[in-house]
Amino acid sequence: MSSSSVEYHKKELPKKFQTIGLVLLLAGLVIVILGYIVNPERSAQNNIIGFSFLVSIAVGSLFFVAIEYLSGAVWSTPFRRVSEFLSSIIVILPLLAIPLLLNINSVFHWTHPEPTDKILVGKAPYLNVQFFIFRVIFFWLIWLVFYYFITKNSRRQDHSKDQFITTANVKLSAIFMPLFALTITFTAIDWLMSLAPHWFSTIFGVYYFSGTVLAALALSTIFIVALNERNYLVEGITSDSYYSLGALLFAFTNFWAYIAFSQFLLIWYANLPEETIWFLDRWNGSWKFFSIGLMIFHFLIPYIGLLSQPSKSNPKRLIFMAGVVLFAHYYDLFWLVMPNFYKEGIVFGWIELGFPIFISGLIISVFVFKTNRENLVPIGDPKLKRGIDFSL
Amino acid sequence: MMSEKILYSYTGIFDTPNAVIHAAEQVSKEGFTKYDVNTPYPLHGMDKAMKLPPSKLGYVALVFGLAGTLGALLSLWWVSAIDYPIVIGGKPLFSFPAYIPVMFEVTVLSASIATVLAMLFIFFKFPNNSHPLHGTEYMKKVSSDKYGISIQAEDPKFDESLVRKLFESVHAKEINPLYWDNDEINHKNKIFEPKFLVFLLVIGIITSCTAYFTLNKLMFMLPFNWMMEQPKQNAQQRSLVFNDGFGMRQPVTGTVARGYLPYVFKGQPDLAGEKLVNPVPISKESLKLGQTKFDIYCSPCHGYHAEGDSRLRGQYPNPPSLHSEKVRKWSDGRIFAVLTDGQNVMPSYSSQLTLDERWAVINYVRALQRALNAKESDLQ
């Protein structure tokens, strides 16, 4: 019991993954660039989806790292590094923001309001290009600073085994948590809610947050289970840890449904034209089926699929369900963004495929890059041994 | 006189949770089935060590949860769409989104109540409160700071020396046989013991007395009555002060309330038209007030331009246009009589519009009439 040394032999991921990541990255990049040449407007709209999705993965992962420190959780310590690696995407977030900022006029109606539009003129002190760009950079810097210090501390602990580094990270996480709440809320308002600048919903920030957490958790779950099944992590992580990941995924699936339904119910009940128009846009023509699909992919399938105990502990089923949740988050963002521009019905073409391919390539490449350079397990963490011994 | 004791089980006591988990693993590996582990608090990993199958309680929760969902949906549908259909907020009679919160709550409620009851009555065999381990030294230890395993004598693999050896091999601190209490062996598990029934009865009496006292006595005592009882005269209440017994009083004869003028032309609209003079001068303010009040109270039938063209047209006796020759020739006082008394299906508006407002509306109607039938001089 007392011997807390954990045997960890670092293994490099097979070259195959690096190749897959690069191929996806380049293929996606080609489609994205072609898309920007052929139809810059529609590409910029897809860019919003892609950017918000990457923010979800990156900042949501940092949220998980922070919440593990804050709550003193031990069960997730052996695979905390997976979330840390995914949060390193924060560094390359500007890559997706810059093309969008160059096309800012073609996606955001509020950048050029008609002088007669009293609502947009009234909102101009908040919704104007300079302040928007300032916010984007400011929020990104906040995330970057906390990403840098938290992961740097975590890496230092690998060698020094100093348990006071954990205390330092707990303090950092405590400062990060309220900042995370504010930045993610304003990011949701800026990038997604302001696409329909006349419309407003006070729960919108929480709505995006619930999707953020789900996406980050689902992707981490896929990586953790896949890596552990192939023994890239330490010996002794059992299906009890899978069960906990699955239970958290299940809980946040319900949280998303709760928030999404709360938003809908209030607007449906009050029936004010300026609010219902947003849902009517999403119930118009073929968007109706898309909205029904959202309920199915984002709630029904994960709910039923994760309800029973074996489905949470079985690696294959858990990875499948996490994949569904991850897909559902992209679907959700598509549902949030696209009906603002195409009121008649669903649009889908090769331009829409560019960003998902590019993003998956990016995530795989970043993850392989980090895995080959750093330890996949926080071997210096004082909670590690207890985390490996975790059982339900 | 001591009769011969009957062995119930062999117990082993351990000092640490890890030791008892390890021991439980060994016991289940040896193939024992009738044994139990007693610890002061739930231990992580014990289910696996004892090779217990997953609890069946989840199925109870699932079945009753689904029953709650479906029951709530059906009852809401029957109540609000079949038995007592009322349109609420312009929504359809069967409006599913409004049912979801109720369905959710009923699901949670019925699942949790069913789970607790199933746990008590099926898994804990509720009215039974007797167990051979109760009241033993062993129980006292494992409910404070020790961890114990008790292997029952009725286990098919049970053998005193074997069990003793097993406990020794996993380093049990104490190994003791545990005997049946003689009373307990003969104890028949009755579903309703008098003690239990009396207990239920006492609880019932206490609960209903408390409820009765709170609702019927306590709430009417001075510091607690939350203004339920007030020393004031309610409408229609008999008065103890006045001789005639009426709580609601008439104004003193020959007096008029502030801001109130008696209307003496009731039922005589033509006389009112002759006698009444519009006291409100035509000004921007009075026209504005008249427009506001007209749009609120008159336009639903007469239309915003007084042409009798509101959306009610065709669904109700058609409201007349106010631009007719007849109305244009009426004096202000004659229109005032209509507003105050009503006419045909039009009710009186004297409670909605004050005197001045009624005159202001008349001024505004005049302006509307003038707009459609302008005079030559208006062009200048």
Identify the CA nearest to A78 among candidates A215, A240, A193: A240
* Predicted local distance difference test score (pLDDT) of residue A341: 92
Identify the band that residue A356 occupies on the pLDDT scale cut at 50, 70 and 90.
very high
Average pLDDT of chain A to the nearest whole number:
92
CB-based contact, A268 to chain B, within 8 Å: yes
Tell me how far apart the alpha carbons of residues B100 and B91 are, in angstroms, rounded to a whole number.
15
Identify the CA nearest to B38 among candidates B185, B117, B143, B151: B143
Tell me how far apart the alpha carbons of residues B99 and B94 are, in angstroms, rounded to a whole number.
9
Question: Contact B342/B298 with Cβ under 8 angstroms?
Answer: no
Per CB-CB distance under 8 Å, the chain A contacts of B96 are: none
Contact B90 A271 (CB under 8 A): yes
Statement: residue A226 has pLDDT above 70: yes
Contact A269 B45 (CB under 8 A): no
Residue with tokens 């205390």: A167
Global confidence as pTM: 0.75
Relative orientation angle of helices B332-341 and B355-372, to the nearest 10 degrees: 120
The per-residue pLDDT for range A263-278, each reduced to its tens digit, is 999 999 998 999 999 9
In A, minimum Cα distance to B59 occurs at: A308
Global ipTM: 0.84
CB-based contact, B48 to chain A, within 8 Å: yes
pLDDT > 90 fraction of chain A, expressed in percent and rounded: 76
Give DSSP secondary structure letters for A244-294: HHHHHHHHHHHHHHHHHHHHHHHHHHH--HHHHHHHHHTTSTTHHHHHHHH
According to DSSP H, which parts of A126-163 are helical? Answer: 129-160
Per CB-CB distance under 8 Å, the chain A contacts of B47 are: 392
Nearest to A264 among B44, B54, B97 (CB): B97
CB-based contact, A271 to chain B, within 8 Å: yes
Per CB-CB distance under 8 Å, the chain B contacts of A268 are: 97
Shortest Cα–Cα distance, A272 to chain B (Å):
12
Q: Among A62-71, B91-100, B304-313, which is the least confidently predicted range?
A: B304-313
Shortest Cα–Cα distance, A392 to chain B (Å):
5
CB-based contact, B279 to chain A, within 8 Å: no
CB-based contact, A391 to chain B, within 8 Å: yes
Tell me how far apart the alpha carbons of residues A332 and A211 are, in angstroms, rounded to a whole number.
8
Please give the distance of CA B205 from its chain centroid, rounded to a whole number: 27
Shortest Cα–Cα distance, B165 to chain A (Å):
25
* Predicted local distance difference test score (pLDDT) of residue A169: 94
Question: Contact B22/B161 with Cβ under 8 angstroms?
Answer: no
Q: Among A244-258, A313-327, B54-68, B318-332, which is the least confidently predicted range?
A: B318-332
Strand partners, B36: B150
In A, minimum Cα distance to B54 occurs at: A309
* Predicted local distance difference test score (pLDDT) of residue B159: 85
* Predicted local distance difference test score (pLDDT) of residue B51: 87
CB-based contact, A164 to chain B, within 8 Å: no
The per-residue pLDDT for range B199-239, each reduced to its tens digit, is 999 999 999 999 999 888 888 887 777 777 777 888 888 88
